[in-house]
Structure 1
Amino acid sequence: MSEEQAFDATARKRLYWHSRRGMWELDLMLVPFIENCFDGLSDEDQYAYQTLLACEDQDLFLWLMRRELPDDPALTPIITKIVDYAESTRTSDVRPL
């Protein structure tokens, strides 16, 4: 890791714990995403993810379930990446809500 790395190990752990929202539907999407995809994101996407975690659970739910779009268009790409990852890893024995 370089000195310029956007998120050090401590900051990443903090983001992991903030990804655990306590709402089952959000946890199923955010926790696997940070575990498997976060490190491969660009700095811009990592910061967008951090910004996303500062949002209210009700808003996150609507955005991740594709019921609404965020007011901040800068969040749309990271939301799309999270949803796409969740859909790509969904197994046949898991039924959509």
Structure 2
Amino acid sequence: MTDGKVKARLKWACRRGMLELDVLFIPFVNEAYDDLSEQDKLTFERLLTCQDPELFAWFMGHEACEDTELNAMVQFILGRVKV
């Protein structure tokens, strides 16, 4: 799959049912995804397969993600937002 098609698919997957998640994911794909390592890109894509209530809880700090790779990606995305 070409890079353009991958980004288009990711942008579509970033459109969630919750505005709080949309405002995190869409800018992240636009501004940071291309600079990720291949492993981190796969981790981000895996993160997008999680359910919205789980994602919301992780990003809002209500729960910690038990998967260390996913948790690291959550923290990386949050760190970009807080800068």
The question of a shared fold, defined as TM-score above 0.5 by the shorter chain, is answered with yes
Greater fraction helix: 2
Structure showing greater Rg:
1
Deviation at 1:8, TM superposition (A): 1.9
Q: Normalising by the residue count of structure 1, what TM-score does the alignment of the two structures yield? A: 0.79
Gaps (5+ residues) in structure 2?
Answer: none
Any idea what the Cα deviations from partners look like across 1:54-80, whole Å, max 9, x if unmatched?
Answer: 000000001111221113212111111
Equivalences, count: 83
1:86 maps to 2:81? yes
Q: Normalising by the residue count of structure 2, what TM-score does the alignment of the two structures yield? A: 0.91
Any idea what the Cα deviations from partners look like across 1:25-54, whole Å, max 9, x if unmatched?
Answer: 001111111110000111111100000000
For 2:20, the aligned partner's letter is E
Gaps (5+ residues) in structure 1?
Answer: 1-5, 89-97
1:10 maps to 2:5? yes
Which position in structure 2 is the counterpart of 1:54? 49
Q: Find runs of 4+ consecutive structure 1 residues off by over 2 angstroms.
A: none
